[in-house]
Amino acid sequence: MTTKVALVTGASSGIGEATALRLREAGYTVYGAARRVERMQHLTELGIRLLAMDVTDDSSMRDGVEKIIADNGRLDVLVNNAGYGSYGAVEDVPLQEAREQFEVNVFGAARLTQLVLPHMRAQRSGTIVNITSVGGRMCTSLGAWYHATKFALEALSDCLRMELKPFGIDVVVIEPGGVKSEWGGIAAQKVRAASGTGPYAPQANAVADSLSSEANERRMSSPDLIAKTIVKSVRARRPKTRYAVGFGAKPMIFLHNTLPNRTFDAFMRRATGVPAKYVPANT
């Protein structure tokens, strides 16, 4: 019986690390990819094979895929997990930062998908798993560029699913809600740096406090919960097209789809403590 092979990006921490471990436990040959290989050394003791890969560097992605095929002759699962959140007002965030977020969250996933598809088509099987977010279905204040990347990855996934059906390749979207990881702290730092002073400061500070609060952290789901769902999806004979999982994911999507837009906007402002009106600092 042939052992199936999986590639997981962003495997140095959080969802990526947990997914690599769960896939290995499920019997897959697993390659964990990340820029910071030194942070993954402990995974080798657990049977994970490491790849130094930057999803904004074409040569590193090409080399990684070629190595996997040379080693195994096949690739069955690609988990596009690498990504980050950069918050800040649209007026404040430099377009270069916006482009970099698209390079990592969207174009990196798309290019890696391009590289693995010829092999999956040849074997007439495979699964592409794209990690988007509940933030790919709804928006929060000062998260425009992050949400734009996740909405884009959702659309890309839908098109891929239709394109790849004739070749026996599944495309699955995982939409995590709140997850315990470095993500919230990094996003909080970025929103303060971009908009922590000036007219958007009240919003920025409220959003940063919400992202990094201890109370919020206690409610977050374990990355392992998301990893288990990913393994479930890739092992399913006919996987769902989308899995909303983790703290708040399904309720938030339901509210977004049910409430009028402005009512949902008001709900999100109250949830994050963002003021509804601008009050100049000198008044």
To the query of whether residue 146 is one of the catalytic residues in this protein, the response is: yes
**C-alpha closest to that of 78 among 135, 134, 138, 118:** 118
- Long-range CB pairs of 207-216 (<8 Å, 24+ gap) are 207/87, 207/140, 207/141, 207/142, 207/143, 207/272, 207/274, 208/87, 209/273, 210/271, 210/272, 210/273, 211/87, 211/184, 211/185, 211/187, 212/184, 212/185, 212/188, 216/178, 216/184
- The torsion angle over the Cα atoms of residues 87, 92, 97 and 99, rounded to 10 degrees, is 100
Among 146, 200, 243, 278, the one annotated catalytic: 146
8 Å CB contact between 115 and 158:
no
For tokens 């699962």, name the residue: 77
**Cross-strand pairs, 30:** 6
Which residues participate in catalysis according to the annotation? 146
